[in-house]
Copies of this chain bind each other. A is one copy, B any other.
Amino acid sequence: MAETNLQILLKRRPVGAPLEADFDIVETPVPEPGDGQVLVRARYLSLDPYMRGRMADAKSYAKPVALGAVMEGQTAGEVVASRHPGFKPGDIVLGGYGWQRFSVVGPERLFKVPEADPPLSSSLGVLGMPGLTAWTGLEDIGQPKAGETVVVSAASGAVGQVVGQIAKIRGCKVVGVAGGAKKCDFVVKELGFDACLDHHGDLEAQLDAAAPEGIDVYWENVGGKTQAAVFPRFRDFGRMVMCGMIAQYNEAPGADASGAPPGPNLGPVVRKRLRIQGFIVSDSGWSRYATFRSEMEGWIRAGRLRWREDVVEDLRNAPRAFIGLLKGENFGKLVVRID
């Protein structure tokens, strides 16, 4: 039996939380690389919250996935055929090849990465887009200084776990926020955060106990009630790194949505001289990938940076895993092992 391509398509745009029926799983012929292209067989697919935005047709920083098109996403895989002199079969590459087993890509979308040490899947997590997000957001916006207090939401997630550990390396006190005792235990015992608060409890009281001095840097992954609890607790000159607001990805229809829930009154921004700043890693992050990777690999070798992955087997399970990601059901960086 000849190999086929397995692809996951966007069937219809979700209303609220995505359903498995919003996706199509299809088998198609393996594509042929054209001149200057390579054929990549993906080994791992990264699942990330931003993908919810691509499923909607609201105006945003990136175009939506078209109905009937392959879902967007980063994969790490192996070159299996090449018509480009820079790549040969067996090369391990990283790129945005979508939710599919095989893809044909040009060299502008190929990053060569090591196959092992650290293992390949890390190039989709701690050493991939989520890690780069953490590193650039702290470098450019959070700018944590030794002795400051940093609060990280979604602390056990792909980005949060890296944010907190870099802040620890920078000499900060780091308080995570996560869902449930198991995640919080991991964040404190394995990742070395100073504390981790369960957002199912009374976050305001927990914050007052864990950070009575107030908050210098808040890493925003979630929005909602965590944002509401953190916002009044900033110290003067606090910084709020706006990475995402997963709590409302299934609610707010889009960029200028009038249906979105209100946010905090901005009075404290003046009085406390706060800075609230958003960023998208793809704007400029990849141009600094080599510097990022070298610094991160140094910390990994020194045993200062750990991570946890939540590996789902079989590409066919990607829709269900992605739906769970938006509910916080994953524990660590969510990746799909494709075969």
Interface centre among A244, A255, A260, A265, by most chain B C-beta atoms within 10 angstroms, is A265
In the complex the two chains form, what is the Cα distance from A182 to B40 in whole Å? 67
Inter-subunit contact B267/A248 (CB<8 Å):
yes
Inter-subunit contact A275/B276 (CB<8 Å):
yes
Inter-subunit contact B278/A277 (CB<8 Å):
no
- A270 at the B interface (CB under 8 A): yes
Inter-subunit contact A273/B266 (CB<8 Å):
no
In the complex the two chains form, what is the Cα distance from A275 to B275 in whole Å? 7
- A245 at the B interface (CB under 8 A): yes
- A132 at the B interface (CB under 8 A): no
Given contacts A271-B61, A279-B273, contact A266 B227 (CB under 8 A): yes
Q: Which of B236, B248, B265, B275 contacts A263 (CB 8 A)?
A: B265
Inter-subunit contact B271/A255 (CB<8 Å):
yes
Inter-subunit contact A242/B263 (CB<8 Å):
no
- Interface range on chain A: under 10, 10 to 19, 20 to 34, or 35 or more? 35 or more
In the complex, chain B residues whose CB is within 8 Å of the CB of A279: 270, 273
Assembly stoichiometry (copies): 2
Inter-subunit contact A276/B273 (CB<8 Å):
no
Inter-subunit contact B273/A283 (CB<8 Å):
yes
Inter-subunit contact B280/A273 (CB<8 Å):
yes
Inter-subunit contact A266/B245 (CB<8 Å):
yes
- A5 at the B interface (CB under 8 A): no
Inter-subunit contact A270/B256 (CB<8 Å):
no
In the complex, chain B residues whose CB is within 8 Å of the CB of A252: 265, 267
Inter-subunit contact B245/A268 (CB<8 Å):
no
Inter-subunit contact B248/A270 (CB<8 Å):
no
Give the interface SS of chain A, mostly helix, strand, loop or mixed. loop
- A223 at the B interface (CB under 8 A): yes
Inter-subunit contact B267/A255 (CB<8 Å):
yes
Distance in angstroms from A262 CB to nearest chain B CB is: 3
- A207 at the B interface (CB under 8 A): no
Q: Which of B257, B268, B275 contacts A256 (CB 8 A)?
A: B268
In the complex the two chains form, what is the Cα distance from A280 to B269 in whole Å? 10
In the complex, chain B residues whose CB is within 8 Å of the CB of A261: 265
Distance in angstroms from A238 CB to nearest chain B CB is: 10
Residue on B nearest A60 in the bound complex, by CB:
B271
Given contacts A265-B262, A266-B263, A270-B242, contact A256 B277 (CB under 8 A): no
- A305 at the B interface (CB under 8 A): no
Interface centre among A244, A270, A279, by most chain B C-beta atoms within 10 angstroms, is A270
In the complex the two chains form, what is the Cα distance from A256 to B215 in whole Å? 13
In the complex the two chains form, what is the Cα distance from A239 to B258 in whole Å? 21
In the complex, chain B residues whose CB is within 8 Å of the CB of A220: 266
A227-B266, A242-B269, A274-B277 known, 4 other contacts, Cβ within 8 Å = A61-B272, A61-B273, A248-B267, A271-B278
Please name the 10 residue pairs, one residue from A and one from B, whose CB atoms are nearest each other, closest first: A262-B262, A260-B265, A269-B278, A270-B278, A276-B276, A232-B256, A275-B277, A242-B269, A263-B266, A263-B265
A-side residues, CB < 8 A to B, are: 53, 60-61, 220, 223, 227, 232, 236, 242-245, 248, 252, 255-258, 260-280, 283
